[in-house]
Structure 1
Amino acid sequence: MPMPAAEIERLIKEAIPDASVQLTALADDNDHWSATVVSEAFRGLSRVKQHQMVNAAFGGRLGGELHALALTTRAP
């Protein structure tokens, strides 16, 4: 089952409360998304660590319920 934008944003903000999340649909299927996530929690972390933080918000859903998520992350 695809994951709507509101659910993606909710999960990210639940894991990273100060996050600003901007989502763009890459296809019209609620299954392929691009997300820009900005959070103070990312300051001083490598891009890999930042992406791991966001990916962790989805538990085991990434790659299944949410097929594809292209990430851009940064500190404000």
Structure 2
Amino acid sequence: MECKAIEQLLTEALSLEEVHVTQDGTHYKIVAVGECFDGASRVKQQQMIYAPLMEQVTSGALHAITINAFTPTQWKREKIFNMPA
């Protein structure tokens, strides 16, 4: 599955402010940013991401997925602390 298609699917399903998907072979990395993650546990955040992708996961179109979910406030802080010096 193409990264842009995953980004669009997640953006529409979860009303995300930002979503970035990268692919390395069969491994996908998803960084999702949205208010919908506010107050949700890490497990719940991952379940929220997996839900709209379940058809592709069960079909085998998506295999290994790494998920990082942030609220907009967390994302701003994450970008500051992880910017190259």
- TM score, norm. by length of structure 2: 0.74
Where do 1:22-61 residues align within 5 Å? 22-27=20-25, 31-61=26-56
Distance 1:68 1:19, change over 3 A: farther
C-alpha separation in 2, matches of 1:10 and 1:18: 10
Runs of 4+ displaced beyond 3 Å? none
Identify the residue that residue 8 of structure 1 maps to in structure 2.
6
Structure whose residues are more often helix by fraction: 2
Larger Rg over CA atoms: 2
Identity %: 37
Indicate the SS of the match to 2:53. coil
Residue-pair matches, total: 71
Larger relative contact order (CA 8 Å, sep ≥ 6): 1
Unaligned runs of 5+ in 2: 73-85
Where do 1:56-75 residues align within 5 Å? 56-62=51-57, 64-75=60-71
Conserved in 1, the CA contact under 8 Å of 2:30 and 2:65?
A: yes
Instruction: Encode CA deviations 1:8-59: one digit per residue, 9 max, x unaligned.
Output: 11111121113411122223xxx32111111101000001001100000113
